[in-house]
Amino acid sequence: MKLDKTILVMDWLDAYAGSEQVVKYLHQVYKFDKLYLLTNIMPPKNIKKIFGDAPVLIKSTSLSLFGNKFRIALPLFPLFLKQLKIKEENALIISVTHSVVKGVSYNSNNSKHISYLVARNLKYVWEEKDLYFKGFKRLGSFFIPYLRRFDVKMSKKPTAIFSVSNFVSDWAKRKYNREILTINPPVNIDDFEFEANKENFYISVGRLEPYKRYDILIDAFNENGKKLIIIGDGSLLESLREKANSNIEFKGFLFSEKYKDLLKKAKAFIFCGKEDFGIALLEPQVCGTPVIAYGDGGALDIVVDKKTGIIYNDQSVDSLIDAIVLFEQSVFDYDIIRKHALGFSIENFKLKFQERVYDVLGKS
């Protein structure tokens, strides 16, 4: 089935992060003619990182009136979504979403819509409602039942739905009662160097926020006394630093060259949170660095237990300490670890995505 136009749909543009990198790679394949989104507050230089020099026509909604405070309008997202109506005919529509735009309206007679879930959609009205609806936002919790029904209803609109991990796919199957196909997003393997000579320290990289569970990491290393380097900034930086013993070093924000150098030299990367995918778990493996990770979420797609790292099953201090002991009793082949990570290359991602889209269009 041949379609004349390619249309991209996103929830919003604000920061250049993981989902925006995915869009960058998809744009290299599909050369999107137009972008529909709820709001755009991204600086032009970052938009250029995604779409290059060729201009892409961007259509947004009146959610833009909220500026960078647009998230407070969450209960109204269904109303703003109604303003996004794709009028182009005979189009391939690809939505990259973690919120609501899988429900975008389009001409379903001669267009096809593939929705790529880069996270559990609207998870702030599902499992993470207590993280979002706190303080004055608790008043908005009245809308949770409505938003859940809306989310399920919108899930019926796409021709097909893909997701970033088996974790998200399984979640979406339960919530939406439809088939979901997993296509893992890529890591830019050219950004990271292999290193076989590891040094005697552990490392963790990420935003220092409650859901990342750095409290478990600090408690474990306070107890075992091993050297740990933490790279990243966030709301918990000062409290974690006060809690940590002298064997734990906080580097704060580092430019990529410096953190990549530490990443490749570390004996292992440690991760205590639960992510929908977790690109940070792939980056050390490209360097040949093993990963010790809590066994839930996207980590199960990324880390091969006892081959590219250690998976531990309880999100607790004791379980992490036991995993570190097991890691130090084990032998890892750094070349095998890197080879595993190379399977998540950008080119492999593009190829898999194109193949799955082709399959969907062929069945239509």
- Segments making up each domain of the chain, as ranges: 5-186+345-363, 189-342
Of 14-18, 36-40, 100-104, 222-226, give the lowest mean pLDDT range. 14-18
Residue 133 pLDDT greater than 80, yes or no: no
Give which of 16, 72, 62 is closest to 37, Cα–Cα: 62
CATH topology for the 189-342 domain: Rossmann fold (3.40.50)
Check: CB of residue 291 under 8 Å from CB of residue 280: no
pTM of the model: 0.93
Helix 18-30 × helix 44-51 angle, to 10°: 50
State which amino acid sits at residue 166: N
**196 class by beta-carbon count within 10 Å (0-12 exposed, 13-18 middle, 19+ buried):** exposed
| Domain 5-186+345-363 annotated CATH 3.40.50 | yes
Confirm whether 5-186+345-363 and 189-342 share one CATH topology: yes
3-state secondary structure of 102: helix
Of 124-138, 143-157, 338-352, give the lowest mean pLDDT range. 124-138
Q: pLDDT of 167-211, one tens digit each?
A: 999 999 999 999 999 999 999 999 999 999 999 999 999 989 888
pLDDT band per the 50, 70, 90 thresholds, residue 148: very high
Instruction: Report the run of H or E that residue 257 belongs to, with start and end.
Output: helix 256-265
Cα 250 from chain centroid? 24
Residue 295 pLDDT greater than 70, yes or no: yes
Sole residue written with tokens 């809308």? 143
**Dihedrals phi, psi of 112, to nearest 5 degrees:** -125, 140
